[in-house]
Amino acid sequence: MQSDEKIQRRKLSDEVFNRLFQAIEEGELPPGSQLPSERDLMARFGVGRPAVREAMQALGNMGLIEISHGERARVTRPSADAVIAQIDGAARHLLSTSPQSLEHLKEAREFFEVGMAFEAAKRATLGDIETLRAGLALQQSHYNKDLKAFVAADMAFHTAIAAITGNPVFEAVSRAMLQWLSQYHSGVLRWKGHENITLEEHQMVLDCIAARDPEGAANAMRSHLRRSRKIYQPGKPAAS
């Protein structure tokens, strides 16, 4: 026998967590359903209120349930955005404490968005192209007027390209990466002097997508992102 087979004592809250997690995973508690009351869970599992509350808090932290004051907890409906949101705090902490991680994120974004532009050029419908045109027109309307709105429109344009794939994971990842980057550049003033170039580069990407030119769209996106990488610099999070 192995010498490291010691039986580990587990906290009661861990056992409650495992039982509830299994009930959610196996569909006994489907999305949208309410969990039993604290009193019912205490009786069901033969544990005290602290164990139940700690287990519920852990489930809530994982995004599996919603806990509202005065109401019974409810099982959340899973979505790509909700899953990505669970790592949001850790991602922001990593970026704020590790300059190299910011460079890694820039590299990952380029790899991801070049691929999204390639796919968008293959899959875009006329409606998708009109959506991109409307997004670019909105960004243009903020030129030399509202820099924060201009940056927000910039982010929306990129996420709209990812959305063309029809894959909600791609859209959620695009939105998350852009949000993380926006919090850790050195301020919107770094955009000054780049707005017109950004608009021109977005137009080039859009033209290639509209022309059903995947290689052209990928190359245009790659050039755009490599030019704009210097906007995002390590340091304290930018003001929201």
Residue 173 contacts residue 85 (beta carbons within 8 Å): no
Residue with tokens 């990466």: 177
What are the counts of helices (DSSP H) followed by strands (DSSP E) for the chain?
11, 2
Q: pTM score, two decimals?
A: 0.71
* One domain for residues 160 and 56: no
Q: Is 19 exposed, middle or buried (0-12, 13-18, 19+ CB in 10 A)?
A: middle
Full residue range of the structural domain in which residue 129 is found: 83-231
Residue 239: inside a domain = no
Residue 4: inside a domain = no
Domain boundary among 38, 54, 78: 78
CATH number at residue 221: 1.20.120.530
Residue 134: inside a domain = yes
CA distance 161 to 64: 29
Q: What is the pLDDT along the chain (240 residues), one digit of tens a residue?
A: 455 555 455 688 899 999 999 999 899 999 999 999 999 999 999 999 999 999 999 998 888 888 888 789 999 887 777 777 777 777 777 777 777 888 898 899 999 999 999 999 999 999 999 999 999 999 999 988 888 898 899 999 999 999 999 999 999 999 999 988 877 654 544 555 678 899 999 999 999 999 999 999 999 999 999 988 777 666 544 433
CA distance 15 to 23: 12
* One domain for residues 109 and 129: yes
In this prediction, residue 118 carries a pLDDT of 98
